Structure 1
Amino acid sequence: MSSLLKSAKSIVPLLDRVLVQRVKAETKTASGLYLPEKNVEKLNQATVLAVGPGFTDSNGNKVTPAVKVGEKVLIPQFGGSPIKIGNDDEVILFRDSEILAKIQE
């Protein structure tokens, strides 16, 4: 994308797409040392920001996404469509079928 989006609220997923944002890993160790950003691992956990309405399958049945806004989910390490928000943030657009699991709290 050539221009940066100002907020994730301006993105409305279509069909069975799910918009998520990765949970940020701790940048501070248990002993209080701060880690450089390049050494912090990307977590596979994300928060669902928006969910599409679903789609109609070939039999005419309505298929709705299995996740809801606000839920914590497990996402694959690679895949999805990353979208830059503002200067630093990034959100990712996945298909509902690509989400690996819900995280119960």
Structure 2
Amino acid sequence: MASKSATGAKVSPLADRVVIKAMEESEQMRGGLYIPDTAKEKPQQGEIIAVGPGKYEDGKLVPMGVKVGDKVLYGKYSGTEVTIEGEQLLILRESDVLAVIG
């Protein structure tokens, strides 16, 4: 059963996966110069909008250590980029999340 995420897309990740909405990088640098899309770095920060139930180890469900609404850091090339209902999202395993911000 799919549930609505924090952004409105219907997505329900399985096992120990999370769905992240990447934080947009500013188009303008401090000096006032504009950065073209081709020169921008891949985002490494985002907000978790959906979480799976966790994974089983030795027959027991291990709950997730992150929750919807957490701001997180993740590896630059981690996960799978998908578009769901017009939204650019990233699906990755909880182990690919490097840290919770704040």
TM-score in same-fold range (> 0.5): yes
State how 1:1-105 maps to structure 2 within 5 Å: 9-58=9-58, 60-86=59-85, 89-104=87-102
CA RMSD of aligned residues (A): 1.8
Secondary structure of 2:32's partner? coil
Cα deviation per residue 1:17-39 (whole Å; 9 max; x = unaligned)?
A: 10012111110122333221111
Greater percentage in strand: 2
Counterpart amino acid of residue 46 in structure 2? A
Q: Give the superposition deviation at 1:95.
A: 0.8
Q: Give the superposition deviation at 1:61.
A: 2.2
Q: How many residue pairs end up in the alignment?
A: 96
| 8 A Cα contact 1:44 1:77, kept in partner | yes
Unaligned runs of 5+ in 1: 1-6
Mapped to 2, the partners of 1:29 and 1:55 lie a distance apart of: 41
Structure 1 ranges of 4+ moved more than 6 A: none
Unaligned runs of 5+ in 2: 1-6
Deviates more, 1:23-32 or 1:66-75: 23-32
Secondary structure of 1:13's partner? coil
> How many percent identity over aligned positions?
34
Mapped to 2, the partners of 1:15 and 1:80 lie a distance apart of: 14
Mapped to 2, the partners of 1:51 and 1:14 lie a distance apart of: 8
Mapped to 2, the partners of 1:92 and 1:29 lie a distance apart of: 25
Mapped to 1, the partners of 2:56 and 2:83 lie a distance apart of: 30
| 8 A Cα contact 2:18 2:50, kept in partner | yes
